[in-house]
């Protein structure tokens, strides 16, 4: 068979493939349908539970059974996604209206995961069975083939309330994300009824009925005035903060008790919130917090923040709002699949889609019910008619050879081959014109139906059927009548399942923190040989001076409000706020100086710390930079007074490194010493001042494979002796020579 090579543009193939993949993820996985507010995995899980008859009033069934059945029949995307959907639908702290009744460990608000599916059990919640799946047997939605076309699954569930608003949704698709907050069922039902009575209702009027989100964790929404814009466009940010109260405790102290948290904090973010409070204390942002404890239980949330005596509790609470997730934002993007495509919708369009869906459901439901009642009517009329001529029918049955002959007589009046008692009976039998269904019902009828009371009951059933036909015809013939039925249904749902609002909505002023001025004191920053740093006040340092000088690699004297500058052998300068370092007792361990500043790139396990000083001390001075290859320069200390935490302090040639960084006064002389014991003493004035980005000039002319090992800074009165092999050299007596010379051998 001849093969044909089709040539096409690669970019076009990629574009089409990516669009197909994107739409598959959007429609089949990540984004909910505006009609039932469910993603496919949620819809399929609930439908499978419906098929398995895991009803609310029946025993629980193993989650593994439900997950496996769902995966095998409808959702071939792995068991973890199905079980996760099942778990979330059962968690009352994540869903305003849980759809699954879970039995066992289904996780906690603090982020504990659910037990494995083999240990947990589940069944449908009553509301799910009544409101979400109740009319599935009435042909109200279309059924489509499953992934391998061996089963049928509903295209959408016949949900009678706007689940998209009540339970919200979140999901990440390709190139788009959905994030819909949850709302109060009773308020949403009232909003739907208001829309049905006035389809021209606008967003502002709708927000008088549905004022905003109602999260299962409660909390306070603080930007009420911005909700109109958010619900009009379907996009925006809702500011939400936890509820807290200030309580007095023994000893004249106060404590902050957090009883409700923002919805965005549930899960692992509660632990992060507690860590953020610890960080505020450790970083000296506040000294008023003495203890934190999480006393939450099944009775509710209770996080205690204990304060020191005399602390301004309101100011600390404002600090928590400002610096932690106790006040957070919920990003709103009300994206849903509407009419087969993803669309960002406001609150009124969402309700409009829902109401149109309800009219469709109602039309199909009552069309199905009307058809069934008309079938019943046909059969009931046949049975009533049969009761009036029961003797003739019995005669036909006794005289017929088989069922087929008897049925032909009842339906078409064919009497040939049937034995009658009289010719009149034959003539009467020829006049019978029952329908196929009536004839079959007569043939199936039991003799006890001939009792007088049974016949009366049959006539009563017929009257009831006729009343239902009239009712259903009336509903289907008038949109207004159908609206009454839907509204009545919604009111009954609200009466049974609505609950009080949990989230408060208001305009709340932004939290303002009054920062108390820090008391400025003289301190000593002690950096040991393991690069651990700690800060002590000067009286503490003076009492432990000898031990401090022995144990510390670097000691920097400064103010507690200053920054210390750390110069490394690689030519970097790192600045660290003294307030970022732990302040305490002399024997405290301290903390690695690398981790003192958040985002710091300092790593003293790989770099050599050359020099440390306070910013206040160096900013008005000149710093001498010397490298192992003999390059030297002066740099104004003001060049290092920058806001960045790390900068290049000098430029280095290849394979060179900084040997020395020191403050140099004009009257100083500089002595350079090399590995081959060459010494050169020069005037400080002979060293040119350069920018920090310059390499510098040659300070000493070095022999091949020689390099500088030490730099000495001398004043006129200094007497400095250094050891050179077996002798001592007084370097202060060296002759002052010119820069860029070889020096003298010692």
Instruction: For residue 187, give the H/E element and its range.
Output: helix 185-197
> Nearest-CA neighbor of 682 among 620, 628, 744?
744
Give CA torsion, residues 262, 263, 265, 270, to 10 deg: 90
Give CA torsion, residues 87, 330, 296, 250, to 10 deg: 180
Question: What is the distance, to the nearest Å, from the Cα of residue 111 to the centroid of all Cα atoms in its chain?
Answer: 12
> Nearest-CA neighbor of 91 among 81, 106, 104, 80?
106
Going edge to edge, which strands form the sheet with 646-648? 609-614, 563-568, 572-577, 646-648
Q: Which of 10, 50, 119, 712 is catalytic?
A: 119
Tokens of 55: 């009803």
How many Cβ atoms from other residues are within 10 Å of residue 573's Cβ? Answer: 24
d(CA 212, CA 567): 55
Provide the pairing of β-strand 504-505 with 220-221. parallel
Residue with tokens 């609310």: 56
> Nearest-CA neighbor of 193 among 623, 540, 485, 535?
485
Q: How far is CA 492 from CA 185, 186, 422, 487, in A?
A: 12, 11, 61, 9
How many Cβ atoms from other residues are within 10 Å of residue 268's Cβ? Answer: 11
Tokens of 288: 């008023």
Q: Are 594 and 531 in contact (CB under 8 A)?
A: yes
Residue with tokens 């008859």: 53
Burial of 639 (0-12, 13-18, 19+ CB in 10 A): middle
Angle at 599 between CA 596 and CA 602, to 5 degrees: 65
Q: Hey, which bits of 538-628 come out as E strands? A: 552-559, 563-568, 572-577, 591-592, 609-614, 622-627
Longest dimension (CA), the chain: 157
d(CA 742, CA 701): 5
Alpha helices for 211-298 (secondary structure H): 227-233, 268-282
Contacts of 393 (CB under 8 A, 6+ apart): 386, 410, 442
Q: Are 318 and 508 in contact (CB under 8 A)?
A: no
Q: Are 715 and 668 in contact (CB under 8 A)?
A: yes
d(CA 632, CA 626): 4
Whether 119 sits among the annotated catalytic residues: the reply is yes
Q: How far is CA 290 from CA 304, 319, 587, 590, in A?
A: 11, 15, 22, 20
SS3 (DSSP) at 621: coil
Residue with tokens 């000149």: 622
Integer-rounded Cα radius of gyration of the chain: 43
> Nearest-CA neighbor of 525 among 491, 566, 497?
566
How many Cβ atoms from other residues are within 10 Å of residue 723's Cβ? Answer: 8
Tokens of 47: 């439908």
Q: Are 652 and 596 in contact (CB under 8 A)?
A: no
Active site residues per annotation = 119
């Amino acid at each position: 068979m001849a093969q044909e090579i089709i040539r096409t543009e690669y970019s076009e193939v990629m574009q089409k493939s990516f669009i197909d993949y994107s739409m598959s993820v959007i429609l089949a996985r990540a984004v909910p349908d505006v009609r039932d507010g469910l993603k496919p995995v949620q819809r399929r899980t609930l439908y499978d539970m419906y098929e398995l008859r895991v009803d609310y009033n029946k025993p629980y069934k193993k989650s593994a059974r439900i997950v496996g059945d769902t995966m095998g029949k409808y959702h071939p995307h792995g068991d973890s996604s199905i079980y996760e959907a099942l778990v979330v639908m059962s968690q009352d702290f994540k869903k305003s209206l849980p759809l699954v009744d879970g039995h066992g460990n289904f996780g906690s608000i603090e982020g504990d995961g659910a037990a494995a599916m083999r240990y947990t059990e589940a069944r449908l919640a009553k509301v799910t069975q009544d409101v979400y799946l109740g009319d599935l047997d009435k042909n109200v939605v279309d059924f489509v083939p499953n992934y391998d076309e061996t089963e049928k699954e509903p295209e959408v569930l016949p949900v009678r309330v706007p689940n998209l608003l009540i339970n919200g949704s979140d999901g990440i698709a390709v190139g788009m994300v959905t994030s819909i907050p949850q709302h109060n069922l009773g308020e949403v039902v009232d909003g739907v009824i208001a829309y049905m009575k006035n389809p021209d209702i606008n967003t502002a009027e709708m927000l008088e009925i549905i004022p905003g989100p109602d999260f299962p964790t409660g909390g306070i929404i603080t930007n009420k005035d911005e909700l109109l814009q958010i619900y009009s466009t379907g996009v925006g940010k809702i500011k939400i903060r936890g509820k807290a109260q200030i309580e007095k405790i023994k000893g004249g102290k106060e404590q902050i008790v957090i009883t409700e948290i923002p919805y965005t904090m549930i899960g692992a973010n509660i632990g992060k919130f507690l860590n953020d409070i610890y960080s505020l204390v450790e970083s000296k942002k506040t000294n008023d917090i003495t203890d934190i404890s999480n006393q939450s239980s099944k009775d509710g949330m209770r996080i205690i923040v204990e304060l020191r005596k005399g602390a301004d509790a309101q100011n600390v609470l404002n600090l928590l709002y400002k610096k932690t997730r106790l006040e957070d934002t919920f990003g709103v993007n009300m994206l849903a699949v509407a009419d087969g495509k993803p669309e960002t919708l406001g609150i009124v369009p969402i309700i409009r889609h829902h109401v149109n869906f309800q009219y469709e459901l109602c039309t199909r439901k009552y069309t199905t019910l009307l058809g069934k009642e008309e079938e019943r009517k046909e059969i009931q009329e046949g049975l009533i008619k049969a009761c009036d001529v029961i003797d003739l029918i019995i005669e036909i049955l006794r005289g017929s050879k088989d069922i087929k002959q008897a049925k032909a007589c009842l339906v078409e009046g064919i009497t040939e081959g049937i034995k009658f008692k009289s010719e009149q009976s034959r003539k009467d039998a020829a006049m019978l014109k029952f329908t196929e269904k009536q004839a079959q019902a007569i043939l199936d009828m039991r003799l006890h139906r001939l009792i007088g009371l049974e016949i009366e009951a049959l006539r009563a059933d017929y009257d009831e059927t006729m009343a239902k036909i009239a009712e259903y015809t009336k509903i289907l013939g008038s949109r207004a009548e159908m609206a009454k039925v839907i509204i009545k249904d919604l009111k009954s749902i609200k009466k049974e399942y609505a609950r009080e609002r949990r989230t408060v909505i208001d305009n709340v002023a932004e939290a303002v923190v009054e920062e108390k001025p820090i008391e400025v004191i003289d301190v000593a920053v002690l950096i040991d040989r393991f690069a651990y740093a700690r800060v002590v006040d000067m009286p503490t340092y003076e009492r432990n001076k000898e031990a401090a000088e022995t144990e510390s690699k670097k000691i920097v004297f400064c103010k507690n409000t200053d920054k210390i500058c750390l110069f490394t052998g690689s030519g970097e300068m790192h600045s660290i706020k003294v307030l970022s370092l732990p302040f305490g007792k002399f024997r405290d361990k301290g903390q690695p100086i690398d981790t003192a500043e958040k985002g710091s790139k300092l790593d003293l396990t790989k770099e050599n710390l050359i020099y440390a000083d306070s910013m206040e001390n160096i900013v008005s001075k000149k710093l001498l930079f010397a490298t192992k290859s003999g390059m030297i320069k002066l740099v104004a200390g003001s060049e290092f007074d920058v806001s960045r935490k790390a900068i290049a302090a000098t430029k280095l040639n290849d394979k060179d490194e900084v040997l020395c960084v020191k403050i140099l006064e004009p009257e100083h002389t500089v002595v350079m010493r090399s590995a081959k014991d060459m010494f050169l003493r020069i005037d400080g004035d002979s060293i040119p001042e350069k920018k920090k980005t310059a390499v510098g000039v040659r300070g000493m002319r070095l022999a091949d494979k020689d390099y500088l090992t030490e730099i000495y800074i001398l004043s006129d009165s200094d007497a400095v002796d250094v050891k050179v092999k077996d002798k001592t050299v007084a370097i202060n007596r060296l002759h002052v020579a010119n820069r860029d010379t070889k020096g003298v051998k010692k």
